[in-house]
Amino acid sequence: MNNTAASPILELKNISFAYDAKTVLTDISFSVGRGEYLSVIGPNGSGKTTLLQIMCGHFRPPEGGAYYCGHNVNSMDIRERAKHFAVIYQQQYGSRFPYTCLETVIMGLHPHRGRFEPVRDEALSRIEQVMRLTDTFHFADKLVTEISGGELQRVMLARAIAQRPKILFLDEAMSGLDICARISMTKILRELIKNQGITVVAINHDLSTAYRFSSRVVALCGGRVAAIGAPGQVMTEEFFADVFNVRAEIIKEKGFFIHDNIIKNEREREKE
């Protein structure tokens, strides 16, 4: 199993993590390439969100570490990390405050500005471009408390782009979106990778999106790396059975079809 990406921007080395006595991650090592769309997949409870929190420096592992361009992310202060990393979560807890969508996107400029530095015309022009790219400019004056969940996720994407990150982390950020919004958001991310060279690391419960759009996938199971590589190589019938406990049919050059039977139940019946 090759855990090394070409021209890595982020490297995870021998990471283990536990909550009190419960081990969540064990000996995790792999790298993320520059300009890569990497999806982290796996069943519930496999450690995906914990791993993302370690990658972006929010958690400090007792063993191992995450290294951005050779620097341990936990040695970087919050402002420095914000210049390089942006995170979009599934639930936007700060959205209960009645900022306008424009004000929210402007917040993405904070890591690159002084505390009392005014927002200059050049920066406002960039904000407008970003909001047009994400199709949020037409409700720029609306309060974030008055828009839909899908619209809010696009606003958060705009704020993250305005932040000019080198790595954009998505923590199930598309889970609540309908299929049209999910495809639209994913295409925007692919354009950012192509045109701006950013790297995307996404926790992805939508396996079809991970299969179609990822350059590589990392699959976690039981807190360990179960598989890593290109989606077409990793996501086999055996993979779905071992990692997700479901029966899948691979459709060549098109993707996969997951059957509605659960392998564990079948195996238990065979033992009876």
Q: How confident is the model at residue 182 (pLDDT cuts 50, 70, 90)?
A: confident
Q: Residue 255, by phi and psi: left (phi above 0), alpha (psi -120 to 50) or beta?
A: left
Q: pLDDT-derived band of residue 272, with 50, 70 and 90 as boundaries?
A: very low
- The closest of 250, 243, 238, 234 to 1, measured between CA atoms, is 234
When mean pLDDT is compared over 96-100, 150-154, 251-255, the highest value belongs to 150-154
pLDDT surpasses 60 at 94: no
CA distance 27 to 62: 11
DSSP letter for each residue of 106-129: HGGGGGGS-TT----HHHHHHHHH
Binned at pLDDT 50, 70 and 90, residue 92 comes out as: low
Q: For the whole model, what pTM was predicted?
A: 0.90
Helix %, strand %, coil % of the chain (to 5): 40, 30, 30
Q: 100 with 140: CB under 8 angstroms?
A: yes
In whole angstroms, give the CA distance from residue 144 to residue 127. 16
Q: What is the pLDDT of residue 270?
A: 46
- pLDDT over threshold 80, residue 268: no
More confident residue, 215 or 178: 215
Asked if pLDDT for residue 271 goes beyond 50, the answer is: no
Q: Percent of the chain, pLDDT > 70?
A: 92
Q: Which pLDDT does position 255 carry in this prediction? A: 80
Here the tokens at position 241 are: 């059975």
User: What are 214's two structure tokens?
Assistant: 């990822």
pLDDT class of 257 with cuts at 50, 70, 90 = confident
The answer, yes or no, to whether residue 68 has pLDDT greater than 80, is yes
Residues 6+ apart with CB under 8 A from 270: none
Q: What is the mean pLDDT of residues 19-23?
A: 92
Q: Which amino acid is at 46?
A: S
CA dist 202 and 219 (Å) reads 12
Instruction: Please name each of the domains of the chain with its CATH number.
Output: 8-235 (3.40.50.300), 236-272 (no CATH)
116 pLDDT more than 80: no
How sure is the predictor about 7, in pLDDT bands with cuts at 50, 70 and 90?
Answer: confident
> Average pLDDT of the chain?
89
Strands (E), the chain: 8-19, 22-33, 37-41, 63-68, 71-72, 85-89, 167-171, 199-203, 216-221, 224-229, 246-251, 255-262
Count, residues in the chain: 272
Closest of 233, 238, 221, 168 to residue 196, by C-alpha = 168
**Pairing mode of beta strands 8-19, 22-33:** antiparallel
How confident is residue 175, by pLDDT bands cut at 50, 70 and 90?
confident
**210: nearest Cα among 198, 221, 199, 202:** 202
